[in-house]
Amino acid sequence: MPVILVASLDQSAAIVEYVRNRMAEQGVDSLVADVGFRGDPTHHADIPREVVFEAAEQTVETLRAMSADEAGGLIASALSSLILDYYLEGKADGVFAVGDRIFAPIAIKAMHQLPFGIPKLVVTTPSDGSVGTMAGSRDILILDSVLDLASDDRISRGLLDNVSLAMSGMVCGDGQDSSPSESALKPLVALSTTVTTEKAVHQSRIFLEGKGYESVIFHVTGPGGRTMESVINEGQVIGVLDITTAGLSTQPMEPEIVGPDRLTAAGRRGIPQVISVGGLDSTCFASDAVITDSFRHRPSHVREDLRVLVRSSAEESAELGAELARRASASTGPTLICLPLRGISSLDAEGEPFWDPDADAALFQAVRDHASGAARVVELDHHIDDPEFCEAMVNSLTEMIAED
């Protein structure tokens, strides 16, 4: 059960050696992959940097001529493919990266492209704390260290001992296979949620489970929408119940976090999807302080984590509906858009602060106007939280899956 140990061997060779020995004591072998491109390697690598660079169709010279960001992106993609090949061939059971504040982001980017479940651990040496934010969309364990770690003192060693043991524990444990419960045989459906659609998602999940499906639920505020698209893209789910498309409204505020790919993976893979408009009544701001002027005087709601939701206007709602319908219409598989005519989030219901039938009407009309191709539209005289609406979405999806 070898671990691929990723590092820049012109910088971190001593740490790599230490960690490798510590894992070996636990019976875990490692394959050292060198991805440094600035200095010259001081140690032997099992996967030399030239192999990684070749996979990236680059030489050390071309990489050095690029910006750190560009070179890092190319190396990350190539590294990710190499690791995945090793993993799929049974030659690697996990990835462990040790890197500085320049290199750690490359390792994290590469790990973002690996499926969930492969043990992933990154130690940054040292970081100013900025690396920790980068992991959010994958199952990556990060230790963001302010210690140099190269100094071989007892505090640094204690830290490296712990991460080596953590990695060893992940690949030695029989966790991945020990509980092949019957649920592993159930078909898996991806659901999208956010705070204001939790009730609808919870109910839909129960309906799905009643029909013998398993659900994986992504929080699509922040980077979760990107994660959901990538899991769909990897073929891990059989269908998608995309109740919460709120990422479309937050995208203009946080374009890099939400990403341009929301609502595209299921359509590209041609798997059945039911889409709704949950959470499109609001744009999510990181705090009250960053609300931009055009949003300032609208109805707003402060979440428990102090993020602030601001009501979408009728004009924005129309744009969001058109964009949603366009993305859904590009699908190559069965696609249904379900419109809950009595409100699209827990805040958008009669008596609640975001209740705005005109804005919702503009959203619905734009969906009707722009839906074409594979995308059918159904309208139900329910609120999104109504069990009848959730059951109807689930029934439609499971019928589409059965016919697919």
Question: In the complex, what is the shortest distance from the CB of residue 233 to a copy of itself, in angstroms, rounded to a whole number?
Answer: 14
Binding positions for a copy of itself, 12-31, rule CB under 8 A:
22, 25-26
Interaction pattern, residues 327-346, with a copy of itself; x per rule: CB under 8 A: --------------------
User: Which of 160, 176, 152 minimizes the C-alpha distance to 25?
Assistant: 160
Q: Using CA atoms, how far apart are residues 363 and 359, in angstroms rounded to an integer? A: 6
Binding positions for a copy of itself, 63-92, rule CB under 8 A:
68
Can you tell me which of 37, 207, 218, 295 binds a copy of itself, judged by CB under 8 A?
Answer: 218
Question: In the complex, what is the shortest distance from the CB of residue 255 to a copy of itself, in angstroms, rounded to a whole number?
Answer: 15
Site size for a copy of itself (CB under 8 A): 82
Query: Per DSSP, which regions of 169-269 are E strands?
Result: 188-193, 214-219, 239-244
- 257 touching a copy of itself, by CB under 8 A: yes
User: Which of 398, 360, 392 minimizes the C-alpha distance to 378?
Assistant: 392
Query: Per DSSP, which regions of 2-66 are E strands?
Result: 3-7, 30-34
User: Which of 118, 145, 117 minimizes the C-alpha distance to 132?
Assistant: 145
Give me the DSSP letters along 163-190: HHHHHHHHHHS-HHHH---GGGGS-EEE
39's tokens: 């200095």
Question: In the complex, what is the shortest distance from the CB of residue 306 to a copy of itself, in angstroms, rounded to a whole number?
Answer: 8
Q: Using CA atoms, how far apart are residues 371 and 360, in angstroms rounded to an integer? A: 16
- 206 touching a copy of itself, by CB under 8 A: no
Question: In the complex, what is the shortest distance from the CB of residue 175 to a copy of itself, in angstroms, rounded to a whole number?
Answer: 3
- 169 touching a copy of itself, by CB under 8 A: yes
- 109 touching a copy of itself, by CB under 8 A: no
- 233 touching a copy of itself, by CB under 8 A: no
Question: In the complex, what is the shortest distance from the CB of residue 369 to a copy of itself, in angstroms, rounded to a whole number?
Answer: 33
Can you tell me which of 76, 111, 134, 349 binds a copy of itself, judged by CB under 8 A?
Answer: 134
- 222 touching a copy of itself, by CB under 8 A: yes
Binding positions for a copy of itself, 261-320, rule CB under 8 A:
286, 304-307
**Toward a copy of itself, which CB reaches closer, 50 or 152?**
152
Q: Using CA atoms, how far apart are residues 170 and 92, in angstroms rounded to an integer? A: 12
Can you tell me which of 84, 188, 238, 322 binds a copy of itself, judged by CB under 8 A?
Answer: 188
**Toward a copy of itself, which CB reaches closer, 212 or 357?**
212
3-state secondary structure 60-101: HHHHHHCCHHHHHHHHHHHHHHHHHHHHHCCCCCEEEEEECC
